[in-house]
Amino acid sequence: MCSFLQIKIYRGKFIAYTVFVVSIGLAIGALTCVVLLNQWVDNARNEAASAFIRVENAFQYDADRIEAYMQRVYSNSGLMADVRCFLGNSAEGYLTNRLQDSRYNQPLVSFPDDVKSFLYSGGQGDITQISLHTAQDGNIVRFNSNGNASFQFQLPNTDEAFRESIHKGFVYRKKLSDPNQISRELGEFRFLVSSDRIFKYVQNYRVDQATIISTSGEAYLIKGGDHNTEELARQAVAEGRRQGYLSTGGFNGVFFVTFPSTKFDYQFVGMMDLGLLIHDKAGVLFTVFLIVLSAMISVLVLIIYNLRDDAKFLHRIIHSIGRVKTANFTPETPAHYRRNEYGMIARELEDMVRQLDKHIRTEYLLKLKQQETEMKALQNQINPHFLYNTLEAIRSTALVNRDVDTADAISTLGALYRDIVKHENIISIGREQSLLQKYLKIMEFKYPHRFYYQFNVDKALLSLPTVKFWMQPLAENFFVHGFNPGNEFNLLVVNGWEAGEHFVLEFVDNGRWITEERLKEIRHTLSRKDDTPMKSIGLLNVYSRLHFFYGEGFSMEIENNEEAGVKISVIIPKEVALQCTNF
C-alpha cells in the first residue's frame, strides 16, 4: 500500500476515490433510511386510512339499518301504532294506550322489543340509545353493554341525556311522518351511535395514536397518547392539511394524517411519533448502516488492490525504458501482466526490447508481426411482448376505424352513472325522464336497428317532483321479459298527460304479453300493499317507493295491449303532486 502512495498520481486518485466512495455510501445509506422511513410512514398512513374507512363503513351500516328500520315502521301498521303510543306518553300512558289499542286476535307488537332485535343486535351494538321526541320532550330506550334495555319517559328536549357530544356519540335524526299523509310530521327519531363502540374498531389496526376532532374543536382520544396528543391533533386540523409533520421540540416530531368524515362533522387524525418509530426500528437501521459500511470497505479494498497493481506495472515500464536507454537487452524473466492498458504497454515494451535485441543479433525484421484477437458476439434474447403488441394492434384499429358510436355509448353510460350516484333522492319528472333516456340510448346501441323509443310527455308533468330512478326498472322489465331480439321493430313509448284530478304516465311496448295467470298474481300482490315476496322485485320496489311518496291516492295499473306488449299506467293524484311541489 505504501508503494503506490509514494507516487503522486496514485495518491491523488486514492484520495479522490475514497471521498467519492464515502460520499456515495453515505448518500445511499441516507436514501435507504429515507425510503424505509417513508415506507413505514406510508404503512402507518394506510393503516390509519383503513381504520377510518372501517369506521365510516360502520357508520354507513348503521345508517342503512336505521333507514331499513324506518321503512319497517312505515310498512308495519302494528309497529307504527305502538310507536305512536310510545311517542309523548309516560310509562303508564304508553302501557295503557297500547293495551287499549290491541286486538285479541292479533299479536301485541312492542316497539322497544322490535327496535332491540332489529337495530341493537343487528347493528352489532353500536346504537345504544333510541329516543322519540315531540316538540317539547322525548322518551328514551337505552341499551347497556349486555344489551339490556332501560327506559326514561317525558324528559325535556333540553335534558342532558339529549345533549350531543363527540365523547357520547353521534346522532342520526329521522322525521316520523304520518303514513297516511307524508307531509304531516308526528315527531322525530334520534338514534345515538356510541363513540366508544363505533371507534373500538380502530384498536384492531396498527395506528400509534388516533384522535377525533369535532368542528367545535372537541377532541376524543381513541387510541394511545395523552392530553398532548389531543392538542397536536387540534393543531393538525387547524393547519388544514391532509398530512404533514409537526415538531414537538428539538428533533422530535410526529407525522399526522387527517380524514374528514362524510357522515358527521368530525375529522379523524392518525399520528405516528417519529422518535419512537426510529427507536423501534433501530435494529433495521443499524443493519442498513453495517451493510453500507461493509460495501464501502469492500470497494476501497478493491481500489487499493487495483492501484497497487497499476503502480507495480508502472515501475516495470519505467524499468524497461531504463534498460533500453542503457542498451541493456539482456532477456529477463517474463512478468505476469494484467489485461489492462498498463499491462499492454508493459508487454509491448518487453517485446520491443526483445525485438531490438534480435535485430542487433541478426537483422531488422522486414515487418512486425500483427496479432489479432477474436471476440465472441453476445446474443440478446428478445422478448416478443405478445400481449403488448396485441393491445397496441387493438388500439390502432380503434383509432383507424374512428368508432364514434362506441365512444357515444361510453359517454352516455358515464353520464347516466354520474346522475345516479348524486345524493339527491327527490328530482323532477323531467330529470327522471332524462335518466331513462340515457338508459334507452345505451339499449339502442346494444340493439341497433332493432329497438326504438319515443317520449310524448306534456310539459305540465316535467316539473312535478318524484322519487329518483323508478322509470328505468319499468323499461328494464320490457328488455328482460318482453323484448324479442329477433323482431326488427321493438318499440317502447312513454306517454304523459293531465287528466281531471290526476296526472298519468303510461309505459307502452310491443313485446310479449304477460299470461293472465301471472298478470292476476302481480295485480293481487300490488293491491295488498304488503311485503309479500314476488318475482317482479323491480316492479314491487317501484310501486312501494311511489306509493310511499304520493300516498293513498297513487295507483299503478298493468295490462296487456290488444295487439302485443304490455302497458303500465302510473296514476298520480294531482292534489298530492302539487303539495309535494310546495313542500
CATH, residue 475: 3.30.565.10
Q: How many CB atoms lie within 10 A of CB 207?
A: 24
Residue 271 lies in a domain: no
What is the reported pLDDT for 329? 62
Tally of CA atoms within 13 A in the half-sphere of 442 that contains its CB: 17
Q: Which string of DSSP letters, residue by residue, matches 192-256?
A: EEEHHHHGGGGGGS--SEEEEEETT--EEEEES--HHHHHHHHHHHHHT-SEEEEEEETTEEEEE
DSSP state of 99: H
Q: Are strands 451-457 and 490-499 parallel, antiparallel or unpaired?
A: parallel
Total domains, the chain: 2
What is the reported pLDDT for 404? 64
What is the reported pLDDT for 241? 87
Calpha distance 18→390 (Å, rounded): 51
Instruction: Answer with the one of 182, 198, 214 that is the final residue of a domain.
Output: 198
The residues near 263 (Cβ < 8 Å, ≥ 6 apart) are 56, 59, 60, 63, 170
Helix (H) / strand (E) element for 507: namely: strand 502-509
DSSP state of 44: H
Residue 454 lies in a domain: yes
State phi, psi for 64 to the nearest 5 degrees: -65, -40
Residue 224 lies in a domain: no
Residue 577 lies in a domain: yes
CA distances from 284 to 27, 31, 38, 343 (A): 17, 14, 14, 44
Q: At what angle do helices 77-86 and 91-100 cross, to 10 degrees?
A: 150
Helix (H) / strand (E) element for 141: namely: strand 137-143
What is the reported pLDDT for 341? 63
3-state secondary structure at position 386: helix
Per-position pLDDT tens, the chain of length 583: 556 666 777 777 778 888 888 899 889 988 988 888 888 888 889 999 999 999 999 899 889 988 998 998 989 888 888 898 888 888 888 888 877 766 655 677 888 888 888 876 655 678 889 999 998 999 999 888 777 888 999 999 999 989 888 889 999 999 999 888 878 898 999 999 989 888 888 888 888 889 999 988 899 998 887 888 888 888 889 888 888 888 877 667 889 999 999 888 899 999 888 888 888 888 888 898 899 999 989 988 888 877 777 777 777 777 777 777 776 666 665 556 556 666 677 677 777 777 776 666 555 433 333 333 233 333 333 233 333 344 344 444 444 455 666 666 666 666 666 666 665 788 999 999 999 998 999 888 888 889 999 999 999 899 999 988 899 999 988 888 889 888 889 999 999 999 888 999 999 999 999 988 988 888 888 877 555 554 556 788 888 888 888 888 899 999 999 888 999 999 999 887 676 665 4
3-state secondary structure at position 103: coil
CB 214 within 8 A of CB 278: no
- Closest Cα partner for 148 from 172, 131, 128? 128
Instruction: Answer with the one of 198, 231, 254 that is the final residue of a domain.
Output: 198
CB 92 within 8 A of CB 64: no
The residue assigned the cell 328530482 is 427
Calpha distance 31→514 (Å, rounded): 72
User: What is the strand order of the sheet 181-194 is part of?
Assistant: 149-156, 137-143, 127-133, 181-194, 169-178
Helix (H) / strand (E) element for 300: namely: helix 282-325
Residue 438 lies in a domain: yes
* Cell numbers for 448: 341497433
What is the reported pLDDT for 187? 92
- Closest Cα partner for 291 from 28, 573, 562, 519? 28
Instruction: Answer with the one of 198, 232, 252 that is the final residue of a domain.
Output: 198
Residue numbers of the domain that contains 511: 404-582
Q: How many CB atoms lie within 10 A of CB 181?
A: 13
DSSP state of 333: P
3-state secondary structure at position 465: strand
Calpha distance 311→321 (Å, rounded): 15
Position 327, amino acid: A
The residues near 400 (Cβ < 8 Å, ≥ 6 apart) are none
CB 139 within 8 A of CB 77: no
State phi, psi for 131 to the nearest 5 degrees: -125, 150
Calpha distance 382→141 (Å, rounded): 73
Q: Are strands 181-194 and 169-178 parallel, antiparallel or unpaired?
A: antiparallel
* Cell numbers for 563: 295487439
Calpha distance 507→496 (Å, rounded): 9
DSSP state of 371: -
